[in-house]
Amino acid sequence: RKEVEQDPGPFNVPEGATVAFNCTYSNSASQSFFWYRQDCRKEPKLLMSVYSSGNEDGRFTAQLNRASQYISLLIRDSKLSDSATYLCVVNAYGAGNMLTFGGGTRLMVKP
């Protein structure tokens, strides 16, 4: 079973659309959760941390459900510049404080 699982997509959406990505993780000891964004052939960049109570940053909303081991990212009013791969990332702290990455979900926003 994959440790962090995501639908690879691609999700093709028009500008202005709302799109949601989901992610599940297998390690119940995971402590911290993040969404990273990766543009083609570039490094992953932190988009936002995910908190138990859910959190919002502008057009982006992240939710965490620890009981179901499920994380989500909602993007409202999609922009062309949102086109990228979105990586779900978890940290189990004890294991060398390493991040475990999902395979990513590709988003393509079209005019």
Give, for 55, the enclosing helix (H) or strand (E): strand 55-57
Nearer to other proteins, 1 or 41 (CB): 41
Closest CB 15 distance from other proteins, rounded Å: 27
Closest CB 83 distance from other proteins, rounded Å: 17
- Alpha carbon dihedral 84, 77, 55, 34, in 10-degree steps, equals 0
Q: Residues 24, 69: contact at Cβ < 8 Å?
A: yes
Q: How far is CA 36 from the centre of its chain?
A: 6
Token output for 5: 């699982």
Closest CB 37 distance from other proteins, rounded Å: 11
Nearer to other proteins, 25 or 78 (CB): 25
List residues near other proteins by CB under 8 A. Answer: 31-32, 34, 38, 41-46, 49, 87, 91, 93, 95-104
Nearer to other proteins, 37 or 82 (CB): 37
